[in-house]
Structure 1
């Protein structure tokens, strides 16, 4: 195991502590009535989906939008604040978006470890928050998320981190003792993973799918209930083999009771199709702590699959090849 790979495992193990350290390194934006657009790509942009979920749980009156593109939405105006995130600071789509944000005079805050984005922010006198460098962007999630959570605390009506919340986050179960995660890892190793969540926890199914893609080098499918019941479920009717594994992410007390009926039906339906079914949920009630807790478990599964397959979880050869091609044009 390389030193960087070991560092990645340490990041998963210390997920909560890294989140808190980053949270403590910033101050909230002093605004109450502004809509928020989070601009970024990949492991940087996923933070926006976490904020979007938490804004809903906390009944934020401000709209939250996550945007992954070269172009910004045409409807943006002075009622919006932009949070631009690129861990490396060199993501070309993000650099394109921030340029357009400035052309349209949108108030902008930047989170990055440096690169071209830091230079742009300083040249345009933007609010810039520097985070530690040296991590793979997807393993830097707790750092990016912690900083972004603090920045948008007032804007999105998020709960300040209390002493009790800190205690829970600092004392997550040791990942090495969670045998269920190893069992799921071994099952997914030889199967095609299907990830199912409700709409409130959709960010977790997105995160897990992308981590399986990048860390484990696997194709995976993620679906959201109850929408899944109106289309994708039919695709299982003519299933000819059982080369699938279903991972259900539960939202505990936040699960709508009618959605629960959808979930329970499909869990039984999948078993009749000889699909192995696993479920993951958090023992905590607070939505932020639930998201942090389940995320680190999902990250560990994707990381563990890579090790079981003798694959480098950090290598992304196809992305590197694409970037070389883009640089030629």
Structure 2
């Protein structure tokens, strides 16, 4: 099956909207979004009591990435809400980043209205729609980003503005340099792992081949990699149209590790992928090793993906890009178009009719 991934004509027929072309633009879109965010006046955002990110699906994963990036670096908490209702503690001391690529995500619209009513200071990141209209009515500053992409392919345009606001507000040092390194590295990796690199020399294509006919189990070896594991899971769902699951060390050692003991025959359907960071603490490295030895031997396969880069943002997004490409290559091997998400479209249609 690997030859399919090296046949440009076949890939064009499977991917008429060029999802793979959008995936490899992550570095460029990140830089573009960052510059858009930096244009915003961040007055009043310098010392937030709490940062709240509102967003669903492809628009919400940027909040997860921001939270992981700032966890050990910012003197305040970042909470991501993927729901209609924000927490009861939201108030004037809260800074809210409301993200919806289309601007019409009903959960985000409801949460934004509630946060605004509670007195929170908000910024909207969107390409248009009702969210931009309501932001104008409320006088909420807005980062207007280019539209026309599937939300999950617009990650750079959604994460970038949040990083731009964070940089203008001075939340952490060196963020601009981190974005520059990440964008540069992502362009290099897009060539190294992209569709033009033959499968025999392309670890992303080889991993996709191993996942065919199996259920991917994606584990993050540390907190930094946690949102990357979630991104892998959701991209495998939407692009590859397969079921996948994810978890994170060390938490999974307190529950999921036991579940492997009596999994029985279904274990043969599972392929484990562990996302690693070169700067993982030694104790977590040992946990991964021991877990593999005592629990994961019955899986159909075990794979590790090691982050690349120096800055935490670069390392995190290198894991994201690898997973995005794996998900598209797996779609090709499954002979499905990675772009359409018919089930989500049907769900929205039925909810609109309700």
Greater CA deviation, 259-268 or 75-84? 259-268
Aligned counterpart in structure 2 of residue 263 of structure 1, from 288, 298, 301 = 288
Equivalent pair of 1:11/1:18 in contact (CA under 8 Å) = no
Q: Could you tell me which residue of structure 1 aligns to residue 257 of structure 2?
A: 233
Q: Which has the higher contact order (CA 8 A, sep 6+)?
A: 2
Distance 1:199 1:67 in 2: 18
Q: Does structure 1 retain, via aligned residues, the 8 Å contact 2:261–2:295?
A: no
Question: Partner of 1:98 in structure 2?
Answer: 112
The reply to whether residue 205 of structure 1 matches residue 205 of structure 2 is no
CA contact (8 A) 2:56 2:108 kept: yes
Q: Which runs of 5+ in 1 are unaligned?
A: none
Please list the CA deviations of residues 171-213 of structure 1 after superposition, one character each: whole Å capped at 9, or x if unmatched.
3351233521111101111111111112231101111001111
Once residues 254 and 123 of structure 2 are traced to their aligned partners in structure 1, the CA distance between those partners, rounded to angstroms, is: 39
Q: Which position in structure 2 is the counterpart of 1:172?
A: 189
1:178-327 equivalence runs, <5 A: 179-197=202-220, 198-241=222-265, 242-253=268-279, 255-269=280-294, 272-327=297-352
Rounded to whole Å, the distance in 2 between the matches of 1:327 and 1:166 is 39
Measured in 1, the distance between the counterparts of 2:251 and 2:175 equals 33
- Whether the aligned pair in 2 keeps the contact of 1:55 and 1:158 (CA below 8 Å) is no
In 2, the alpha carbon distance for the partners of 1:320 and 1:71 equals 23
CA contact (8 A) 2:182 2:313 kept: no
Would you say the 8 A contact 2:91–2:115 is kept in 1? Answer: no
CA distance in 2, matches of 1:49, 1:5: 30
Instruction: Give the CA deviation at 1:39.
Output: 0.5
Q: Deviations over 1:117-167 (max 9, x none)?
A: 111111111101100000000010011111111112235325232265654
How far apart are residue 168 of structure 1 and its match? 3.6
Mark the runs of 5 or more structure 2 residues left unpaired by the alignment: 1-11
Secondary structure class of the residue paired with 1:161: helix
Instruction: Tell me how many residue pairs correspond in the alignment.
Output: 327
SS at match of 1:278: strand
Structure 1 segment 83-122 matched on structure 2, within 5 A: 83-122=97-136
Q: Does 1:129 align with 2:140?
A: no
Greater shift, 156-165 or 79-88, is seen at 156-165
Distance 1:269 1:306, change over 3 A: same
Cα separation, partners in 2 of 1:8 and 1:247, compared to 1, 3 Å: same
* Matches of 2:209 and 2:306, distance apart in 1: 19
1:285 shift after superposition: 2.1
Contact 1:282 1:290 in 2 (8 A): yes
Contact 1:62-1:156 within 8 A present in 2 as well: no
Which deviates more, 266-275 or 37-46?
A: 266-275
CA shift at 1:26, angstroms?
2.7
CA deviation string 1:269-320 (max 9, x = no partner): 4553143111111231211011121111100011111111111212212211
Q: CA RMSD in A?
A: 1.9
TM-score, with structure 1 as normaliser: 0.93
Distance 1:6 1:318, change over 3 A: closer
Judging changes above 3 Å, is the alpha-carbon distance between structure 1 residues 32 and 218 closer, same or farther for their aligned structure 2 residues? same
Which is worse superposed, 293-302 or 11-20? 11-20
Residue in structure 2 matched with residue 13 of structure 1 by the alignment:
24
Aligned-residue offset at 1:32: 2.0
